[in-house]
Amino acid sequence: MSGGTPCPLDLVFALDVSGSMTQAEMELLEKAIATFKEHLSGQRPRVTVISFGMRVKIVAVIYGGPNKIEKAFAGDRPR
């Protein structure tokens, strides 16, 4: 939408942190998170981060900019 008010953006990320993820897949996930944050520059999306492995965990529900998004993803990085 050019010249108008941006539409609200609601996003949910489900991060696989299980033991079945390979190192290459973990690195790809890290790159995807970084790319996502770059594309959100200047926006204030509502984001929910969920991780799953043996259990499902809601890591964060946030309303804000990329700095808050970084903190949410940092809460349960894949290992």
63 touches 46 (CB < 8 A): yes
* 19 pLDDT more than 80: yes
* 78 pLDDT more than 50: no
Please give the C-alpha separations between residue 18 and each of 6, 39, 44, 51, 76, in angstroms, as whole numbers.
36, 27, 30, 9, 12
Residue 56's pLDDT is: 82
* 10 pLDDT more than 60: yes
Domains of the chain in sequence order: 10-74 (3.40.50.410)
Q: What is the mean pLDDT of the chain?
A: 75
Query: What are the tokens at 4?
Result: 């108008």
What's the pTM value of the predicted model, to 2 decimals? 0.60
* 62 pLDDT more than 50: yes
What percent of the chain is modeled with pLDDT above 90?
Answer: 1
Distance CA(5)–CA(74), nearest Å, equals: 30
